[in-house]
Amino acid sequence: MIILYFADIFGRPGRKAVQACIGDLRATYTPDFIIGNVENLAGGRGVNRRTLEELNEMGFSAYTSGNHIWDNKEVYQLLGPDSKLIRPANWSSPEGEPCPGRGMTIVHRGNLRLAIINVMGRVFMDAQDCPFHAVDRLLKEVPPSTPVLVDMHADATSEKYAMGWHLAGKVSAVVGSHSHVQTADERILPGGTAYITDVGMTGAFDSVIGLKPEGVIKKFITKRPHPTQAAKENPGVSCVVIKLNSRGHAESIERLRFTVKIDDLAQGGDLE
C-alpha cells in the first residue's frame, strides 16, 4: 500500500499547488490513498464545501483537520457520518453537547482499507481531552489487520515525538501537522511505524506559515493586533509518501518539498 499525505493545505495557493503536481505524483508513486489536512483550506480559515469539492475532484480519499476546523460555519454541514472529513478525536464533547463529526474514518479501495485517526495536541494549544487516551480508545474499534495512519496535529515537537513512540509498532504511520514548517526527521520507528514530526505546509512558501510577512512582523514587534493577509508568492507543496508492506508495516517514508509554477495566482483576486 502506498499513501500520499499533504499537511496543512493553505488557501487557494495550496489547492492550486496540489492541482499542479498531483498528476505527476500519481504517475511517479501510484498512491492507493491520498490524504490531506484541510483545516486551512478556505483562505487559511477552516474549510467550506466549495474548497473541499476541489480536492474531491483531484481524487483525495480523506481529510484530517485541527484547531481551525470550526473557523468556517459551513463545516457543520460537512461532518456527517459518511463524510471524508474528520476532526480531532479528542475535542471536548461534554454530556448534552456532543461534538459534531468524528475522529476516525476507514477508507477503502478495492481490497485495500486504511484507518485514519486525527488527534490534537495540548501543549501550547487550547486544552482538550487527552490525545493519547483518544487514540488508544479508537484503535480498539479498528478491524484486525487494518493499517492505521494517525495525524497528530500539535505544536510541541516533544508531544509529537511522544505520540510517535507511544504508537510505535501499533500503527502504520504517525504524521505531524500544524506547525507549517517541514521537519527533516522522517524515519521508521521500531515495529514498522513511519514517523515525521511535521510534514509542512502546502501553499505560499514566501510567507509566515501562509500569511504575508509584513502584518505578522508588525504583530511580533508591537504586540498589538494588525491585519494579516493570505500570501500567494512562491507556491509549493509539502508532502510525504509512505509505503507499507502486506502486514501494514511501513517500509519507507519519503519527504517531499518543492515549488510549482501557477500562472493564475499572479493575477490577484480572492485567495480563498
The domain locations on the chain are: 2-264
Residue located via cell numbers 483545516: 39
pLDDT beneath 50: ranges in the chain:
267-269
Residue located via cell numbers 491520498: 34
Q: What is the DSSP letter of 264?
A: G
**How far is Cα 267 from Cα 37, in angstroms, rounded to an integer?**
27
**How far is Cα 177 from Cα 14, in angstroms, rounded to an integer?**
15
Please write the tens of the pLDDT for every residue from 92-130.
988 889 999 999 999 999 999 999 999 999 999 988 999
- C-alpha to C-alpha distances, 140 to 74, 82, 136, nearest whole angstrom: 31, 20, 7
Q: Is the dihedral of CA 168, 173, 176, 180 positive or negative?
A: positive
Catalytic residue among 68, 153, 178, 180: 68
Please write the tens of the pLDDT for every residue from 186-208.
999 999 999 999 999 999 999 99
Beta bridge mates, 51: none
pLDDT of residue 262: 87
**How far is Cα 217 from Cα 229, in angstroms, rounded to an integer?**
12
pLDDT of residue 269: 46
E strands of the chain, at which residues?
2-6, 33-37, 62-64, 104-109, 112-120, 148-153, 173-177, 187-189, 193-196, 203-204, 235-244, 250-259
Longest dimension (CA), the chain: 56
Task: Determine phi and psi for 238, rounding to 5 degrees.
Answer: -125, 125
**How far is Cα 138 from Cα 134, in angstroms, rounded to an integer?**
6
3-state secondary structure of 78: coil
**How far is Cα 72 from Cα 84, in angstroms, rounded to an integer?**
17
Per the annotation, the verdict on 108 as an active-site residue is no
3-state secondary structure of 59: coil
Which three cell numbers mark 207? 510567507
Half-sphere exposure of residue 127: CA atoms within 13 angstroms, side-chain side: 0
CATH class label, 2-264: alpha beta
Mean pLDDT of the chain: 94
- C-alpha to C-alpha distances, 129 to 51, 92, 134, 149, nearest whole angstrom: 29, 6, 8, 20
pLDDT of residue 271: 59
pLDDT of residue 268: 46
What contacts 185, CB < 8 A, 6 or more positions away? 195, 196, 197
Residue located via cell numbers 480531532: 88
pTM for the model stands at: 0.94
pLDDT of residue 95: 86
